[in-house]
Amino acid sequence: MSGLFGSLVLFVLLLIGVAFYQLGVRHQVHALQSRLRTAAVTLSHQIRPEAVLALEVADDRNKPEYRELVDLFRRIAREEPQFVSIYVLRPTERADMLAFAADFVVPGRASPAAVGEEYDPRQAASLDAAFLRPTVEDEFTTDRWGTVLSGYAPIRDAAGQAIAVVGVDVSEADVRALKRDVLLLVLGVFGVAALSIAVLGWFVGRNMRKPLGRITEATTEIAAGRLDTRVRLERKDEFGVLGRHVDAMAAGLGERERIRATFGRFVSEEVAQQLLTSEHGADLGGEERIVTMLLADLSGYAALSEQLAPADVVTLLNTYFALTGEIIDRYHGCIVEFTGDGFLCVFGAPSAQPDHAERAVRCAVEMQARLADANGEWAQLETKLWHGQGTAHLRMRIGIHSGAVIAGNIGTPKREQYSVIGDAVNVAARVEQLNKDLGTDTLITEETLIRLPDALRRGPVPRGEHPIRGRSRSVTVYSI
When pLDDT is cut at 50, 70 and 90, the band that residue 263 belongs to is: very low
Give the pairing type, strands 395-412 and 442-445: parallel
Give the pairing type, strands 83-91 and 162-171: antiparallel
DSSP 427-443: HHHHHHHHHHHHT-SEE
pLDDT at 38: 92
> Which DSSP symbol is given to 129?
G
Identify the CA nearest to 417 among candidates 308, 291, 263. 263
> Which DSSP symbol is given to 116?
T
Kindly state the helix (H) or strand (E) to which residue 407 belongs, with its residue range: strand 395-412
Which among 64-73, 138-147, 317-326, 335-344 has the top mean pLDDT?
64-73
Specify the CATH architecture of the domain 284-479.
2-Layer Sandwich (3.30)
Identify the CA nearest to 140 among candidates 99, 107, 173, 181. 173
When pLDDT is cut at 50, 70 and 90, the band that residue 471 belongs to is: confident
pLDDT at 258: 63
Pairwise CA distance, residues 251 & 187, whole Å: 54
Count of C-beta atoms within a 10 Å radius of residue 351: 14
Average pLDDT score over residue span 227-241: 76
**Structure confidence by residue, pLDDT tens digits, 269-289:** 555 555 555 554 444 457 888
Residue 156 three-state SS = strand
Q: Does the pLDDT value for residue 388 go beyond 70?
A: no
What's the Cα-to-Cα distance from 456 to each of 230, 402, 461, rounded to whole Å?
A: 51, 15, 11
pLDDT at 181: 77
Pairwise CA distance, residues 219 & 215, whole Å: 6
Which has more pLDDT, 426 or 23? 426
Min mean pLDDT across 165-174, 283-292, 424-433 is at: 283-292
Count of C-beta atoms within a 10 Å radius of residue 45: 10
The amino acid at residue 406 is: I
Pairwise CA distance, residues 454 & 295, whole Å: 24
Percent of the chain residues topping a pLDDT of 70: 84
pLDDT at 320: 82
Average pLDDT score over residue span 150-157: 93
Average pLDDT score over residue span 1-9: 65
> Hey, where are the domains in the chain?
2-178, 225-265, 284-479
The model's pTM is 0.47
The amino acid at residue 401 is: H
pLDDT at 266: 42
When pLDDT is cut at 50, 70 and 90, the band that residue 41 belongs to is: very high
Which has more pLDDT, 123 or 234? 123
Pairwise CA distance, residues 164 & 467, whole Å: 139
Q: Does the pLDDT value for residue 39 go beyond 60?
A: yes
Which has more pLDDT, 239 or 325? 325
Q: Does the pLDDT value for residue 447 go beyond 90?
A: yes
Averaged pLDDT of the chain: 81
Specify the CATH architecture of the domain 2-178.
2-Layer Sandwich (3.30)
Average pLDDT score over residue span 296-314: 76
The amino acid at residue 452 is: L
Pairwise CA distance, residues 183 & 17, whole Å: 9
460-465: long-range contacts, CB 8 A cutoff, minimum separation 24 = 463/434, 463/438
pLDDT at 123: 84
Q: Provide the greatest CA pair distance for the chain.
A: 153
